Structure 1
């Protein structure tokens, strides 16, 4: 892809630019609302935000539980002599 000229505009105390829809589509960002912006060697990079650590785990665990998929793999077990312990 060849370079596309863009205009950097004043937006309050900051500056901004409009990214063409075709550019966003090529980068896989057309439906994304959160992205990561970084600068490397004088180049501005915009990319999809990395998923947050453990994002979606709670929902996945709830779905697994609802399907009965959260049973213990090894069953309930203890150590020999545990029944003699007094708490």
Structure 2
């Protein structure tokens, strides 16, 4: 009795692209730039609110939380990278 595969090809998850060789650093740079942009947006909104401009307070709070979450995510990525490098350094050749 012959057993054949189902013929179903694995599909890529939506929004996730395959990285080309060497693009990890580029993606990391884009991520850092995005986090920096979110921080600047939050700072700008805070300054505008403090100057008395007509901006809803909840908009500022939402942007501040977005910036905080983005920074926390960046810190976790950094921690995982440091952990991976330390693990590589512990490997015996």
Q: TM-score, normalised by structure 2?
A: 0.23
* Greater C-alpha Rg: 1
More helix by share: 2
More strand by share: 1
Q: Which structure exhibits the higher relative contact order, with contacts defined as CA atoms closer than 8 Å and separated by 6 or more residues? A: 2
